[in-house]
Chain A
């Protein structure tokens, strides 16, 4: 057990935890942030994606000791009060979800992409998002949502 200090959704957070526990379960079980989903447990699907220093990481494979001193953002931390983040708005407008289970990971994955490259080409969007799995088949609309935020949407699919 050790004290791990980090910023969680903008708030300074200090936890005494086993530093070898995975961030996913600390978020869900210890902190009640259930918007971060368990999907595969092996960093294969992206449902557990969160932002660490604005980069998308798989929280099911991220040790608590690796977030020491970092900025962690989960899906719960993206909206400002009632005001959705533009990526969240775009997922609503373009219906970039069906069952919604992969959605938090998709949105945070898209956030990380656009943070690094605000105007990605379609090929770059696809390449980045290819490691995120969606079973319902919302892919086309997710691409459209991301492109609408980037201002690179060409219309159509």
Chain B
């Protein structure tokens, strides 16, 4: 189930608030200004006194998702957050479509735990495919109730009414019309419908499927967009926290006397938490540098080079993720057998906005503005850390400066809340870049062992796939193979013993899927090359899934793929992937500098079937973003570490993609109106590494077996 596979082990999930009624509330408008709004409330906030640890679904009350003002303005409430992926625009479109209101009438509030319906978090490409239908159902039910109210008002059967652009009209009698706002008068929608009305069919869409303008554009180009660290309550102090030199270390001695002498500095010690606070960030930085501390190191005996043996030797018990035929007892017939091991390295999320939070305590209530992907779980964490009831903690999520899975974990919000409570002042915690690298929940290093076999007709007949530490997502193959087994030993969400990884790991954009695709799709090409077959023809021969075949053919047509066995010297490569319900084929063209091992991607074609497309331009942005970001894991991103010490601390050594690396990108979306909207923010990143690996092989006949494919690794692979 999606929730399980995409869940975050670091947080306690479960709804903490359910906004049955809203009295006066503070609302963060699109310009970041706090405005006091008055909304009617039949009841006060109903909140539990303790964190609820049970998993619960979305609320069923339509008022949790939307409010229609007497002025016909519609406010949409979602627990999802805007990370840059455009969900505040796309979700507004979904609501407007099924409610039948103009998109321009909709305002959206994201990720505010006092105002928005519970949500587990913004990850897993779930906002549209999983939450979308919930939001649409609420909109459709609200619309149905409004029609019912109008039919009573006009004393006509409901069938004679039509709703459009927020107005209900008696069909054929345009004079008899009433707006939604006149019907609700700004009040809650008290009635419910049973059975629930159907969602609007795709062919009736007028708002979904259009490239509606992004709602955050003006804020973001003018500097008005507020991120958590930009929230500036009067008297706020910057907190800089004493950090460990390595994971596993413990603080043994600390002397803060020099730091305390810096004018305006406050020093807080609370157990292991040592923080210096100052009104100015740079003064707090200076004071922190004056703190003298001693630590006891307890480094695990691993580093980048030895980690792979460690991961295999100490692997948790394997789980069978997929199987068919008799892979364990397979003895043939296979005319050719293949065996290969693939490797992936630890990688950082490295969002441009480091983890940031501002906490304010007022009348015993803690309000935290946090750059997080998981406002509701963060609320639970703070309730537990500070032993506060649910109605005493509120998380507000302003714009988030990138997440990619790394802001599912949000310790900075807990730290800010703790320090605000201890000091009685508003406190801002903004991670420095080295804190960001140190506390990141890295994409795990991984090992994948594949054994496979093909018969005389070049059909794959055997596939034994064992993946260590990358996890289940994208592990199962989608080819037509008689005898196959996929075994998963641990994953990004854990499963190993304590110390299996030397630091925290977590979900990194399409967690595990890029690692799995790199191994699987590289290995498919290994077999195709041995068979002397064109890699596209080899795939088509071994595929039966029509959605995958369609993306493969569409990519080939757009790319102008000319069949030829690799290595052809052309430097072209292909790879396929399925992620978040979406199918992708990527084709790439590379140039390999044989002297240096440096690889430049010249162009990428992506054919993607994501079902119904809510916002084509927004989807295009996500595909381009996936491919561009994917160049990093493909070529350069790798966390170097020694024991518990993270050696990469900033962008000077940890190289993320730059303008000069970005290829021409052509994207083809498959027209698939019968498939409900699937994921879009992650799938296209998945096959990139494999497509490039295959293109490198095609160019120079060398197979690179480890991500990232640095110039040194490419050169090493080229050695005879």
**CB atoms of A130 and B221 under 8 A apart:** no
Count of chain A to chain B residue pairs whose CB atoms are closer than 8 Å in the complex: 168
- B-contacting residues, A101-157, CB 8 Å: 101-104, 107, 125-127, 129-130, 132-143, 156-157
- Is B697's CB within 8 Å of the partner chain A? no
**Once the chains are docked, how many angstroms separate the CA of A139 from the CA of B222?**
19
- Of the candidates A22, A37, A42, which one forms a contact with B650 in the assembled complex, judged by CB atoms under 8 Å apart? A42
Kindly state whether residue B433 has any CB partner on chain A within 8 Å.
yes
Are A132 and B624 touching (Cβ within 8 A)?
Answer: no
Q: Which chain B residues lie closer than 8 Å to A39 at the CB level?
A: 352-354, 433
Q: How close is A74's CB to chain B, nearest CB, in angstroms?
A: 7
CA distance A143 to B660 in the complex (A): 11
Given contacts A99-B353, A101-B402, A134-B352, contact A40 B85 (CB under 8 A): no
Given contacts A35-B222, A44-B651, A130-B658, contact A100 B399 (CB under 8 A): yes
Question: Which of A32, A99, A139 neighbours the largest number of chain B CB atoms within 10 Å of its CB?
Answer: A99
Cα of A148 to Cα of B130 in the assembled complex, Å: 38
Contact between A104 and B621, CB atoms less than 8 A apart: no
A29-B279, A133-B352, A135-B351 are known; give 16 further A-B pairs, CB within 8 A.
A21-B282, A36-B223, A40-B650, A44-B652, A47-B352, A74-B223, A84-B222, A92-B221, A95-B621, A99-B352, A101-B351, A133-B651, A136-B402, A137-B624, A137-B657, A141-B621
B residues near A135, Cβ cutoff 8 Å: 350-352, 402, 404, 629, 656
Q: Is the CB of B217 within 8 A of A99?
A: no
Q: Which chain B residues lie closer than 8 Å to A6 at the CB level? A: none
Do A97 and B433 have beta carbons less than 8 Å apart? no
A140 contacts B281, C-beta separation under 8 Å? no
Chain B residues whose CB sits within 8 angstroms of the CB of A99 once the complex forms: 83-84, 351-353, 399-402
Chain B residues lying within 8 Å of A78, measured Cβ to Cβ, are 222
Nearest chain B CB to A142 CB, angstrom units: 8
Say which one of B101-109, B113-121, B226-234 lies at the interface with A: B226-234
Residues of A with C-beta under 8 A to B279: 29
Shortest Cβ distance from B685 into A: residue: A137
Which B residues are CB-close (under 8 A) to A66?
none
Contacts known (A38-B354, A76-B223, A141-B624); A133 close to B656, Cβ less than 8 A: yes
Q: Tell me, yes or no, whether B220 is within 8 Å of chain A by CB.
A: yes
A42-B652, A95-B214, A107-B221 are known contacts. Are A137 and B352 too (CB-CB below 8 A)? no
Question: Which chain B residues border A100 with CB–CB below 8 Å?
Answer: 84, 216, 219-220, 225, 399, 401
Instruction: Please give the distance in Å from B238's CB to the nearest CB on chain A.
Output: 8
A99 to B627, CA, bound (A): 16
Q: What does DSSP make chain A's interface, helix, strand, loop or mixed?
A: loop
Q: Chain A's nearest CB lies how many Å from the CB of B52?
A: 31
Does A34 belong to the interface (CB within 8 Å)? yes
Q: Which residues of B contact A32 (CB under 8 A)?
A: 232
Q: Across the interface, do A84 and B221 meet the contact criterion of CB distance under 8 Å?
A: yes
**What is the total number of residues of chain B having a CB less than 8 Å from a CB of chain A?**
58
Q: Is the CB of A133 within 8 A of B665?
A: no
Measured between beta carbons, the chain A residues less than 8 angstroms from B216 are 100
Does B151 belong to the interface (CB within 8 Å)?
no
CB distance from A97 to the nearest CB of B (A): 5
Whether A133 lies near B658 (C-beta < 8 A) is: yes
Contact A97 B217 (CB under 8 A): yes
In the complex, chain B residues 614-633 whose Cβ is within 8 Å of any chain A Cβ: 617, 621, 624-629
Q: Given A137-B627, A139-B659, verify A37-B221 contact (CB < 8 Å).
A: no
Looking at the complex, which one of B223, B351, B666 makes contact with A34 (CB distance below 8 Å)? B223
* A130–B660 touching, CB < 8 Å: yes
Q: How far is the CA of A157 from the CA of B601 in the complex (A)?
A: 14
Verify B352–A101 contact, CB threshold 8 A. yes
Q: Which 8 residue pairs are nearest across A and B when measured between Cβ atoms? A: A35-B223, A99-B84, A137-B628, A101-B401, A100-B220, A137-B625, A98-B84, A75-B223
Answer yes or no: B594 CB below 8 A from chain A CBs: no
CA distance A103 to B119 in the complex (A): 29
List residues of chain A with CB within 8 A of the CB of B352. Answer: 37, 39, 45, 47, 99, 101-102, 133-135
- Within 8 Å by CB of A137, from B217, B219, B400, B626, lies B626
Contact between A25 and B660 (Cβ–Cβ < 8 Å)?
A: no
A127–B665 alpha-carbon span in the complex (Å) = 19
- A: residues with CB less than 8 A from B are 21-22, 25, 28-30, 32-42, 44-45, 47, 74-76, 78-79, 84, 88, 91-92, 95, 97-104, 107, 125-127, 129-130, 132-143, 156-157
8 Å CB contacts to A: which residues of B654-671? 656-660, 662, 664-666
B430 at interface, CB cutoff 8 A: yes
Q: Which residues in A have their C-beta under 8 angstroms from that of B432?
A: 41
> With an 8 A cutoff between CB atoms, is B512 at the interface?
no
A18 to B515, CA, bound (A): 50
* Most chain B Cβ neighbours within 10 Å, of A44, A95, A132, A138: A95
**Interface centre among A35, A79, A135, by most B CB within 10 Å?**
A135
- A29–chain B nearest beta-carbon distance, Å: 5
User: Nearest B residue to A139 by beta-carbon distance?
Assistant: B662
Q: Looking at B220, B224, B625, B650, which has the most chain A CB atoms within 10 Å of its CB?
A: B220
Contact B220 A103, beta carbon cutoff 8 Å: yes
A34 to B301, CA, bound (A): 43
From B350, B430, B624, contact of A38 by CB (8 A): B430
Given that A98-B621, A100-B399 are known contacts, is A21 also in contact with B221, CB under 8 Å in the complex? no
Nearest chain B CB to A70's CB is how many angstroms away?
20
Instruction: Report the minimal beta-carbon distance from B629 to chain A, rounded to whole angstroms.
Output: 5
Return chain A residues, CB-CB under 8 Å to B84: 97-101, 136
Asked if A98 and B86 make an inter-chain contact with CB atoms under 8 angstroms apart, the answer reads yes
Offer 7 A-B interface pairs, CB within 8 angstroms, sorted by A: A22-B282, A92-B221, A99-B402, A100-B219, A137-B624, A138-B625, A143-B662
Provide the bound-state CA to CA distance between A91 and B625, in Å. 16
Closest to B628 in A: A137
Contact B353 A101 (CB under 8 A): yes
Determine the distance from Cα of A55 to Cα of B666 in the docked complex, in whole angstroms: 34
